[in-house]
Amino acid sequence: MRTEGEASGPPLEPGDFVQLPVPIIQQLYHWDCGLACSRMVLRYLGQLDDSEFESALQELRLTRSIWTIDLAYLMRHFGVRHRFCTQTLGVDKGYKNQSFYRKHFDTEETRVNQLFAQAKACKVLVEKRRNVQHQHQ
């Protein structure tokens, strides 16, 4: 898979990527793409039990409003080693005017910013990064 930045870069050379047999799990709703991706990762790693996944969602209080930081906490819950790289350590105010977020943005902003603030103490590895294009040497 290539990012947008890589798509305009030099063509991939053999050995530049690894293809993994990750199972495909379809979204159930228009808003649960991150949860579907999380399920795919967990199933690939052999760690997905549907009832455990559902109880993790309840424990972490994940409902219809799922932010990427929520997914980082979900992966941590299942013991998946990962690093969440983001351009914004907290809520991106640009989402405030999008219809999906508008209704509950203020309460979600507080909740999400608290997750970022508590990440280190909760052993959720978050790193601020700008987009970095892969460069051949």
Domain assignment present for residue 94? The answer is: yes
Domain assignment present for residue 72? The answer is: yes
Looking at residue 45, its pLDDT comes to 93
The 10s digit of each residue's pLDDT in 66-91 is: 999 999 999 999 999 999 999 889 88
Domain assignment present for residue 134? The answer is: no
Distance CA 91, CA 107 (A): 11
Domain assignment present for residue 81? The answer is: yes
> Does the structure show a pLDDT above 90 at 16?
no
Residue pair 39/25 in contact by the 8 Å Cβ criterion: yes
Domain assignment present for residue 17? The answer is: no
Domain count, the chain: 1
Domain assignment present for residue 55? The answer is: yes
- Segment 31-46 mean pLDDT: 93
Domain assignment present for residue 104? The answer is: yes
Domain assignment present for residue 96? The answer is: yes
How is residue 98 written in tokens? Answer: 């999008």
Looking at residue 3, its pLDDT comes to 46
Judge if pTM exceeds 0.85: no
CA-based angle 35:38:44, to the nearest 5? 145
Helix residue ranges per DSSP H, the chain: 4-7, 33-44, 50-59, 68-77, 99-102, 105-118
Domain of residue 62, residue span: 30-126
> Does the structure show a pLDDT above 70 at 137?
no
